[in-house]
Homo-oligomer: A and B are copies of this chain.
C-alpha cells in the first residue's frame, strides 16, 4: 500500500502508511507556508507528531518527503477528477460540467495545487519525471472528455492544446490568485472562462442553428 518508490527501514506496511500520512499532512502545511527549502526536517517531524529519528525510519532523504507530498496531492486530485469525468454521456453540457467541476476542485485544493506547482522542480530528476507522467495522465483525462464531448472531430494537437489550456486556467486560479481573486469570485471566474472556452470550440455551423 505505501509508496514503494520511497524506502523505509520499518517493515510493517500499515504502520508505514500511517506514519507517512501523518508526515504528509504535517509537511503540506509547512511547504505551503514556507516552501520546501525553508522547511527543516525537524519541523516536519514535529508537525508530524514524532521525532526526527522516527521520521528517518520512514524515508531516506528530505526529498522523499517532498515526493510523498507531491505524489499524494496528485493522487487526490486525480481521484477527484476521475470521479468527475467518468460520465458515460458525452455532450457539450457534460463537458461544461466537467470543466466547472475541475475549476471547483482546484479552488478547493488551492494550497495543494500551489505546492505541486512550485516545488516539483525541487524533486530529484527521476522523481520529477514520475510526477510529470502523473500530470500527463491528468491532462489526458481532460483530453478524453474534450474529444468525446464535441460533436465534431478535432486534431490530436488541438485537443491537447485545449486540455492544457483548461488545465492551466485551473491552476492559474491558484497561482495567480493575488490578481484574479481580486477581480473575480470563483463563480464569475468559472462563468467567464467557460464562456470563452465554449465560444472557442463552437462550430460556426452550430452557431447559426
* CB-based nearest B residue for A36: B37
Bound Cα distance from A197 to B201, whole angstroms:
10
Contacts of A169 in B (CB 8 A): 165, 168
- CB within 8 Å of B: which of A127-168? 132, 135-136, 139, 157-158, 160-162, 164-165, 168
Q: Can you tell how many copies of this chain the complex includes?
A: 4
Q: Does A83 contact B (CB under 8 A)?
A: no
Bitwise interface map of A from 26 to 43 toward B, beta carbon under 8 Å scored 1, else 0? 000000000101000000
Give CA–CA (A171, B164) in the complex, Å: 12
Stretch of A16-24, A102-110, A178-186 that contacts chain B: A178-186
Which residues on the B side are within 8 Å of A136 (C-beta)? 179
Separation of A118 and B37 alpha carbons in the complex (Å): 13
Which A residues are within 8 Å of any B CB, using their own CB? 35, 37, 118, 121-122, 132, 135-136, 139, 157-158, 160-162, 164-165, 168-169, 172, 176, 178-180, 183-184, 188-189, 192-193, 196-197, 199-202, 204, 207-208
